[in-house]
Chains A and B, each alone.
Chain A
């Protein structure tokens, strides 16, 4: 088990539950980025059979060094536990001067579990906007869609093109909508991705020291809202959310938060408490 200080906080977990990703810019040191780039060029990065414990993967590779960084172990352990399974990996290469981007999609096939896999995306070199970067749609992870069925959608308000410096990391929920944007530069673009499956029930695996204090009050419209509490984080709308479905996304997040905390009475600003009110007491005459 990694030192607690490297685990995610409840607020970071809430951010992940709300938006379906966490982003860590320039986390990996330059020297390691260069080592990994060289290993990619030499074709030296080899994954394992699906279902192999991650701890047994990438022995002797600089990807192992990357995964063993305490910050990265902290993220992995907080989201999918201490020893998740390796699902698959990929070195995504986008050739120079591409005419079109990849179609918008969710990976694998339609997946309606509360349990979730994570995908770690690692960007070993700088990515300016012209080079594309992975495009992701925050908050799309609970939409029930099957892979490329959504390829018709070209652009959304609030979409995020991953423009970043070398050594940046994205951690994604398996359901997030994304695509590889077109690379309009003269250089190849690289991105390393690995998908991990939990082996343990995803229940309070992070640093829960702030869980109770950060929960927030039940009020809906009255009073000042704490812009930093978990309810606020889980109630924040994304710019592309439709009016009515945007409210349902809050419900999706509440259900995910209940699953992760084991607290079935948790609510965000009364949305589910109202629906769960089923009085059984008769009024006395």
Chain B
């Protein structure tokens, strides 16, 4: 019988464009339905750096692009810039 597979997603917001820089923010979604993550549910980051997530078996599926600032907006801040997305594929019964 084929094992059924589900995706778990981890989003890490890093300190700069390097994957091994520090984690500043984090978000999780669990496709197995076992865990319900929500806003403000943890005060400690799951990993210290993006690389630490790789070492723990997460596969990186998005590197944030480096986009130059729009003219006139060089000093303004908005969204988090270094959004790395990771996945794990897990088997469920």
Contact = CB atoms under 8 A, between A and B. Distances in A.
B78 A181 contact: no
A132 B42 CA distance: 12
A-B pairs with lowest CB-CB distance, top 6: A135-B40, A101-B39, A154-B27, A100-B38, A156-B25, A181-B40
Given A101-B39, A243-B15, A243-B16, A155 B77 contact: no
Secondary structure dominating the interface of A: loop
Interface string B28-57: 100000001111111101000000000000
Given A104-B39, A153-B27, A155-B26, A242 B15 contact: yes
Interface of A: 99-104, 132, 135, 142-145, 149-157, 159, 161, 179, 181-182, 239-245, 248-249, 251-252
B78 A157 contact: no
B80 interface: yes
Contact of A156 (B16, B21, B24): B24
Given A154-B27, A242-B24, A248 B77 contact: yes
A251 B24 contact: no
Contacts, number: 99
A182 B38 contact: yes
B78 A143 contact: yes
A155 B40 contact: yes
Given A101-B39, A155-B42, A242 B23 contact: no
A178 B82 CA distance: 21
